[in-house]
Each structure stands twice: as C-alpha cells, then as structure tokens.
Chain A
Amino acid sequence: MTRKQRRLSVIAGGLAFLGAATGLTFYALGQKASYFYMPADLTTASLQPGQRIRLGGLVEKGTIERGQGTTVAFSVTDNQKQVKVTYTGILPDLFREEQGVITEGIFRPDGVFVADSVLAKHDENYMPKEVADGLKSRGVWQESKK
C-alpha cells in the first residue's frame, strides 16, 4: 500500500467506527429513553405493552397502603386523574402525602403501575421539575405546595 492508500484506509476505518457508534447511539435513544407522563396524559398517550415510562404527580392523600412487609401501594394524581402504583422497596426519605414524586416502571395488564424506582425531591424546597412544570401547565400549581 502506498502512504496515500494507507491514510485513506485509516480514515475510512475511523469514519466507519464513528458511523457505527452514531448508529448505535440513535438506536439506543429510540429504545431506551423513557418518557415522562402525568396521569391525565395517559388517556392520550399510546403506550406499547411493557414500555418503561416515568410517571409523575402528587402522592394522593390517604392512599398510601403498606401491604405485607415491603410492598407499598399509593396513588399518583395530577388532580385530574389518578393511577395506582405499587412499589417494592424502601421509599425515599422525602416521600410524603401530597408531595411530588416521580416513579419509573411499567404498567401491569390490569392497569396498575409497577414502579421499580421512586424519586422524591432532594430537599424540602423543591418539587421534581417535571412535576412542577406539569402542575403549572394544568393550572393546579399552588405556591404553598413548594
């Protein structure tokens, strides 16, 4: 191979590599990005069975049930609709009634959302941003909820 050919093959190899990496990245974004919904969005959203989503809203008052041992059930609401959520594990320290929460998981066929992670806010001043924005856009945001 001449020097020119060699250089070209190196460049071609590099470009092929970058192309493959780009392809993989966009494939992964399509497959693995999880969408954020609030309960009222779910009526219009078209979800695949078994699709992972993040569900956010407020923990509805009086719905927290601690079942046998480690499984907890509660409802997430955006003051329009509510969704029943179950979660096995330890809830975050700042998980409380009428506080913002983001759960991630999949819907069971019976419509119960099975969460494998539950995020509450990081400290008492803030609500998860997605939840706060969602509540504001619905006009149910109250400054006192901060």
Chain B
Amino acid sequence: MVETGHFALVLAFALSLVQALVPLFGARINSQKMMAVGGPVAVTGFALTALSFAALATAYATSDFSVANVWDNSHSLQPLIYKITGTWGNHEGSMLLWVLILSFFGALVAAFGSNLPATLRANVLAVQGAIGATFLLFILATSNPFARLNPAPIEGRDLNPILQDLGLAIHPPLLYLGYVGFSICFSFSVAALIEGRIDASWARWVRPWTLVAWMFLTGGIAMGSYWAYYELGWGGFWFWDPVENASFMPWLAGTALLHSAIVMEKRSALKIWTLLLAILTFSLSLLGTFLVRSGVLTSVHAFATDPTRGVFILCILTLFIGGSLALFAFRASRLTAGGLFHPISREGALVLNNLFLTTATATVLIGTLYPLVVEAVSADKISVGAPFFNLTFGPLMVPLLVAVPFGPLLAWKRGDIFAVAQRLMAAFAAALLAVLVTALFIDGSSVFAALGVGLAFWLICGALTDIAVKSGLGSVAPGVMLSRFAGLPRSVFGTALAHLGLGLTTLGIVGTLCFGTEKILSMRAGETVQLSGHTLRFEGLYPAQGPNYSEDRGRFALLGADGSTTAVITSSKRSYPVRQMTTTESGIKTIGFSQLYLSLGDEATDGSVVVRLWWKPLVTLIWGGALVMMAGAAMSLMDRRLRVGAPSRRRRSAGAMPSASLP
C-alpha cells in the first residue's frame, strides 16, 4: 500500500508535467485535441494524489512504523483521530495535503469549466499543472513521506503533544483550502496574460473562486487563532508571529482582491489591477509556504528543517512570482482599461478599500521580512513584534473600518456622499450611544476603549442599515419592504453579513484588549480568588491517566453569589512520556460571549501552585465574527449571478441596483 502511494505520486508528477505542457502548446497552435487533454489529466492527477494521500493516511491509521514518517510522528497508543490527523502534522504529510488540495482545485476547474472558452480553460489547467509539478517534484526530491525503515521499529516516537488536538483536524485543511484556493485566481490571471485578453467570463469565474478561497482562509486563520489561544495557555488570540503573518498577508490581499473583483465584474474597471492583485495574493500564499516550511523561522509550524528544502521552495517561489510578474510587465499593456468613475462612488470606495488593504499587507510584509533581511546583511538579530504592528497596522485599519459602512450604500459611477451620510445617521447615533454608555457606565478610564466599542457598533449598525435601506425602510409600505427584502440578491446579504462579522470581531478584540483583567498568584487547595466579579475556589490537584499521557488536573470551582459551586473548571499539566514533554491544558469557562480562562503553572515546594487567570470579555466574538464573515462569503456564493458555470440567464433583480437610484 505504501509503495502504491509512492508510485501514484510519481505518476501524478508525470501527469502534471503533461498537464502543464500539452494544453498550453495546444492553445498556441489552436489544436482542440491537445487542449482537451488538460481536463481528464487534471482529474486523473487528482485521483492519483488522493490515492497517495490515502496510502499515507492508512499507514498512519494502522501505525505502520516501517514508514519513517509514521514512526517519527505517531504512536500506537494515540487515539485514532490523532493518528489520522498526524498524517499532516509533519512536514512531508502537510506538503502532500497541500498538493492534494491543489490538484483538487485543478480537477474542479476541469469538471465545471466546460463553458469556459477552450483556450482559457487549457491555459488555466496548464498553469495549475505547472504549480502542481513543481510541488510534486519538491515532495519526491526532498520530502518523501513514504521512505521506509528497515528493520521496522516496534513503537513510534509520538506526535508532538501540542498537535494532539482537534485543532489539527480542522486548522491545516481549512488554511490550505484557502491558501491553495488562490492558486485558481493566479492561474486564471496568468492564463489571461498568456492570451493577452480578459473577457466577461474571466471575471465571472475569478470572483467565486476568490470567495471560496477567502472563506476557507478566514476559517483557517480563525481556527488557528482559537487553537493557539486555548492550547498554548498564554491567553492571547494573536501574537503577530511571523507564521501567523504568513497566513494573514494572503488574507489581506485576498480581501482586497475580493473587492476589486466586484468592480471588475460589474463595471469592467480595474481589470489590470485585479489581475495583479490575484497574482500577488497567491504569491503571498507561496511566500507563506516558504516562510513556514523552509525553517527560516522558528515556530511550532517549522517541523524538522532541512536547508535543501528551503532552497528548493525559494526556487519555486522565484519561478512563479518572478515569472508571473514578468509576464504581467510584458502583457499588461495589451489589456484594455475600461469604466470611468467619479472618486466618490462605489468604485471609488472599493479603490479606497484596496489602497488601505494593500498598504496594510505591505506593512505586515515589511514587519515579517525585515528581521530576515537585517540578519542577512548584518549580524544583528532583531525581532519585530506586536508593538510594531500595533503602531502601523492599527492606524491603517481604523480609517478603513470607519469607511466600511459608506461603501455598499454609494451608487456606482457617481455617488452622493451626503445622502449616504444621512442614511447612516441612525448607525452613527447608535455608535455614539455605545461610546457614551461605555465611557459613563462601564469604564471611563480609556477614551480609546470607548471609541473602539463605538467603531464596532458603527460597523454592525452600518451593515444592518445597508440591508434596511436596500429593502426601502422608511420610504415604502411594510408589505413592499418585505417583498423587496426577500428579493434582494444574496450577494447583498453576503456583503452585509461579512461587514457585520467584521464588526463583531472588532467588538471582541476591543472587549478583550481593553476590558480584560488578569491575575497571577500562587494558590493552595481551598483558597479562593476574585476576578472581575467572579469567585473561583481552587479544589486541588488530582492525578489522572490518559491514553498516551498522565496528567495533574487542577480543579477550580466557580462559586455563585451564595457560595455554591456553579461550574467546575479544570486546567491540567500533561506529561507525554514518549517525547518527555509536558503541555498545559488551559481551563476555559464560557459565560455569555465572554470567557474565564485559567492556566496552571508549576507546583512550588510548599504545595502551592502558580495559577494565571484571565477574564476575557466578549472574546468569543473574535472567532464568532469570523464565522459570520464565512457565512457572508457562503451567502454571496449562493447568489445566482455568481454560481459557477451558470450562464447569466436571469437579469439582475431590481435590488441589485444602486441604492441611490431607489425612490
């Protein structure tokens, strides 16, 4: 089975070469036969990669320690779920997952792209095949997951205990679906550059793929953030760690792409810019893969490092980023620009969005790469952390967030900012009220905190205003309004939901950062501690035994007003004997949208235990908001207009018209 997997991977590599070359050549000499090769080859390549992945997963599930990769990252006592997720909890397996998802997207284009122009389809599949070929070569040459050990060890070395968590089942697949999903946008852009033209079907295709990739990337980042939050025991949700930035940069650029693609689709303006942005977004995904996988950074994501891998990925990076940008430089002038617009208009607002988002991406990029550059040119080792990003990223985000509610309400081509401001009066009043209530009743010590809460409410109420105005609130009878509401295109709801989610995430961040409290103390069994109105009693440490670890569980009782126990929170110190590693499992109790978070430290000689506890108000909204953003993307995808492959049979419904033209 293992050799079958290896063989399937070699075959997939050979097929990806065919996929990269034959349709490309066919498109040049206009041979229908050669162009038609792309589709079946892409599907077969996906099937082979899937077979290969299944072979590795089976080796993991059955604890076949004759495979070096399994031996290094698994143990027979691990629960089955961690045996399976361990397949991608290591360098080789995670690269295989990367390629699997890449070929999956290629197969999707092949399967659903029958209504694309033949040459475009052929070129897209060829570019997709070329990316696949390089990464398959990378795996086969430097990161073979199927290498055997002889004689086979009896027992494995266990998966890194930090990774023995449900998060590993969700975070990497979602993140890769996002990262790699942008490869489709990239392939479409490069294909358009090869052909030297962008037609209507191009924009209709790229927008939904961007939405899909963006949706998964949002989920992947949010899941990674939550995982780090509860697993590392530091109580933080974002560390501005280079590895986090590596996934955040494609997200920022992808968000910009999502917005510029709207302009391109509706108004056929910003074509060249959208194309460039699509290239840049996937380039940042590749850069992220390089940063995480090459070992230039120290992090939990950098599995065993090997310099040849870094050099190899750097070559891939140069080939694709350099190649596509060079192609862009040569061919972009051939593409015609279109669609003029006034600066104050929906297009103008979306350009503003792009300006801020790409600048923010650039600051994150500089902050992430600067230490590497400094270390390369001088011997100094520096680190750029949260203080830098708070100073640069923060000021860039605030004006953008203030502008968000205006965008969807502005008319295309030429908008009336005063009319829009009038419509947003209610949202503004709500935001002002939130500022006052926060300052007067909750905590008046920080002006910024109150303004932050106001900003979040501004976003939330702005999103609701968007829906209300477009349904005709205040200008038509309730019955008409209801039918208008029902008739609004799904993409309008999608926009409003995504912006609402952004508001919720903002509220969560402001709540946690500005109103959170924290205590570090040493406790003995029976002692109580107060934190932000909650009383906790430490009940003591109890030993327990897990399948492949032993642990000391610290039990804490959350006491009600009458002194009775309302909930029990446990935080434990686990020790994994195989890797001789201890981990801390934090104890979390969700109360409303807020959380009580505690983590156990070392036991002192006198029997007391260091305990660190946090009260994190509204913290769950950070990830809840991300889920709402994902729902917004899913809603937009269901819009008939965007349905992949659906020819635009139905005209746009009345609700899609700019709001300013409504009576």
Q: Chain A residues near B299 (CB, 8 Å)?
A: 122
Docked-complex contact A69 and B366, CB < 8 angstroms? no
Among residues of B, the one whose C-beta sits closest to the C-beta of A127 is: B298
Kindly state whether residue B382 has any CB partner on chain A within 8 Å.
yes
Q: Chain A residues near B362 (CB, 8 Å)?
A: 21, 25
CA distance A85 to B345 in the complex (A): 57
Shortest A70–chain B CB gap in Å is 5
Kindly state whether residue A66 has any CB partner on chain B within 8 Å.
yes
Among A18, A36, A70, the residue within 8 A (CB) of B383 is A36
Among residues of A, the one whose C-beta sits closest to the C-beta of B300 is: A122
Kindly state whether residue B143 has any CB partner on chain A within 8 Å.
no
Q: Mark B606-644, 1 if CB is under 8 A from A, else 0.
A: 001010100000000000000000000000000000000
Q: Quick one: given A17-B359, A66-B602, are A94 and B367 in contact (CB under 8 Å)? A: no
Q: Chain B residues near A133 (CB, 8 Å)?
A: 381
Kindly state whether residue A140 has any CB partner on chain B within 8 Å.
no
Among residues of A, the one whose C-beta sits closest to the C-beta of B396 is: A21
Shortest B552–chain A CB gap in Å is 12
Kindly state whether residue A34 has any CB partner on chain B within 8 Å.
yes
Q: Chain B residues near A14 (CB, 8 Å)?
A: 355
Docked-complex contact A32 and B580, CB < 8 angstroms? no
Q: Chain A residues near B297 (CB, 8 Å)?
A: 129
Among residues of A, the one whose C-beta sits closest to the C-beta of B583 is: A93
Kindly state whether residue B330 has any CB partner on chain A within 8 Å.
no
CA distance A24 to B398 in the complex (A): 15
Among A6, A25, A89, the residue within 8 A (CB) of B366 is A25
Q: Quick one: given A21-B363, A122-B300, are A90 and B612 in contact (CB under 8 Å)? A: yes
Q: Chain B residues near A130 (CB, 8 Å)?
A: 298, 381
- Among B359, B579, B583, the one with the most A-chain Cβ atoms within 10 Å of its Cβ is B359
Q: Chain B residues near A21 (CB, 8 Å)?
A: 359, 362-363, 392, 396
Among residues of A, the one whose C-beta sits closest to the C-beta of B356 is: A17
Among residues of A, the one whose C-beta sits closest to the C-beta of B297 is: A129
Q: Chain B residues near A29 (CB, 8 Å)?
A: 366-367, 370, 384, 388
Kindly state whether residue A47 has any CB partner on chain B within 8 Å.
no
Among A6, A25, A34, the residue within 8 A (CB) of B385 is A34
Interface positions, chain A 60-106, Cβ under 8 Å from B, are 66, 69-70, 88-91, 93-94, 104
Docked-complex contact A89 and B392, CB < 8 angstroms? no
Q: Chain A residues near B359 (CB, 8 Å)?
A: 17-18, 21
Docked-complex contact A24 and B382, CB < 8 angstroms? no
Shortest B549–chain A CB gap in Å is 12
Shortest B234–chain A CB gap in Å is 9
CA distance A6 to B599 in the complex (A): 58
Kindly state whether residue B645 has any CB partner on chain A within 8 Å.
no
Shortest A39–chain B CB gap in Å is 14
Docked-complex contact B298 and A34, CB < 8 angstroms? no
CA distance A55 to B371 in the complex (A): 16
Q: Chain B residues near A93 (CB, 8 Å)?
A: 233, 573, 581-584
Docked-complex contact A69 and B608, CB < 8 angstroms? yes
Among residues of A, the one whose C-beta sits closest to the C-beta of B575 is: A93
Docked-complex contact B355 and A17, CB < 8 angstroms? yes
- Among B162, B299, B383, the one with the most A-chain Cβ atoms within 10 Å of its Cβ is B383
Kindly state whether residue B520 has any CB partner on chain A within 8 Å.
yes
Among residues of A, the one whose C-beta sits closest to the C-beta of B385 is: A34
Kindly state whether residue A123 has any CB partner on chain B within 8 Å.
yes
Kindly state whether residue A124 has any CB partner on chain B within 8 Å.
yes
CA distance A90 to B618 in the complex (A): 24
Docked-complex contact A90 and B233, CB < 8 angstroms? yes
Kindly state whether residue B528 has any CB partner on chain A within 8 Å.
no
Docked-complex contact A34 and B610, CB < 8 angstroms? no
Q: Chain A residues near B605 (CB, 8 Å)?
A: 66
Docked-complex contact A34 and B383, CB < 8 angstroms? yes
Kindly state whether residue A10 has any CB partner on chain B within 8 Å.
yes
Docked-complex contact B382 and A70, CB < 8 angstroms? no
Docked-complex contact B581 and A54, CB < 8 angstroms? no
CA distance A129 to B93 in the complex (A): 23
CA distance A89 to B518 in the complex (A): 11
Docked-complex contact B391 and A54, CB < 8 angstroms? no
Docked-complex contact B580 and A124, CB < 8 angstroms? yes
Shortest B277–chain A CB gap in Å is 15
Interface positions, chain B 551-572, Cβ under 8 Å from A, are none
Docked-complex contact B385 and A69, CB < 8 angstroms? no
Docked-complex contact A70 and B521, CB < 8 angstroms? yes
Shortest A24–chain B CB gap in Å is 6
Kindly state whether residue B380 has any CB partner on chain A within 8 Å.
yes
Shortest A103–chain B CB gap in Å is 12
Shortest A35–chain B CB gap in Å is 5
Docked-complex contact A124 and B579, CB < 8 angstroms? yes
Q: Quick one: given A28-B391, A28-B392, A29-B366, are A70 and B385 in contact (CB under 8 Å)? A: no
CA distance A24 to B343 in the complex (A): 26
Q: Mark A29-52, 1 if CB is under 8 A from B, else 0.
A: 101111110000000000000001
Kindly state whether residue A125 has any CB partner on chain B within 8 Å.
yes
Q: Chain A residues near B479 (CB, 8 Å)?
A: none
Shortest A136–chain B CB gap in Å is 13
CA distance A28 to B385 in the complex (A): 11
Interface positions, chain B 518-548, Cβ under 8 Å from A, are 520-522
Docked-complex contact A94 and B581, CB < 8 angstroms? yes
Q: Chain A residues near B388 (CB, 8 Å)?
A: 28-29, 32-33
Q: Chain A residues near B521 (CB, 8 Å)?
A: 69-70
Docked-complex contact B298 and A128, CB < 8 angstroms? yes
Among residues of B, the one whose C-beta sits closest to the C-beta of A71 is: B520
Among residues of B, the one whose C-beta sits closest to the C-beta of A134 is: B381
Interface CB pairs A-B, < 8 A, 22: A10-B343, A18-B359, A24-B392, A24-B395, A29-B370, A29-B384, A29-B388, A31-B387, A33-B371, A33-B383, A69-B521, A70-B520, A88-B520, A93-B581, A93-B582, A93-B583, A122-B298, A123-B160, A123-B162, A123-B581, A124-B580, A124-B581
Top 9 closest A-B pairs, CB basis? A90-B601, A36-B381, A69-B522, A32-B387, A32-B388, A129-B298, A28-B391, A122-B300, A93-B582
